[in-house]
Amino acid sequence: MAGSPTSPLGAHFDDVPSSAYFSVATRWARAKGVTAGCTSTSFCPANNVTRSQFVVMLHRFAGSPNHGTSHGFSDVATSGEVAQAVTWGKKYEIVMGTTSTTFSLGNAVTRAQVARFLYRYANKPAAEGANRIQLGVTRPAQTF
């Protein structure tokens, strides 16, 4: 199917039935290192995704380029994977804070924010990353 991953799939998560519409996607994301789940065996598909979790997943998808940890947000640590992801996202104007000094790590990422972050990522030619989103690939939308 157009737009479907072609790489080998990772192990399934215990809480993702193989019949679930997102089963293949979660296995692909696990194989690519985009997500490890909420535990080593669970994906927690009904849980909300936080702003920090989303920017980390997008950063991993981009190949985890390192741009340090100088992001300027008071609620983000100055070291670690989240700090690197937020710094990368801010540098390329893919993600912004909820204020000029606050990123709001623990807030749920809204559908609007996800759409905006993905749009910015796809349209930033300078953003480093081995995996670029190819716009123009269309397939029927899944309502969820």
Whether 83 has a pLDDT exceeding 60, the answer reads: yes
Residue spans of the domains in the chain: they are: 10-47, 48-132
Per-residue pLDDT tens over the stretch 51-73: 999 999 999 999 998 888 889 99
Note the pLDDT of residue 142.
44
Average pLDDT, the chain: 84
In terms of Cα–Cα distance, which of 125, 102, 121, 124 is closest to 51? 102
- Dump the DSSP string for 88-105: HHHHTTSS--SSSS---T
Note the pLDDT of residue 125.
60
Per-residue pLDDT tens over the stretch 20-42: 999 999 999 999 999 989 998 99
8 A C-beta contact, residue 126 and residue 62? no
Long-range CB pairs of 77-81 (<8 Å, 24+ gap) are: 81/56
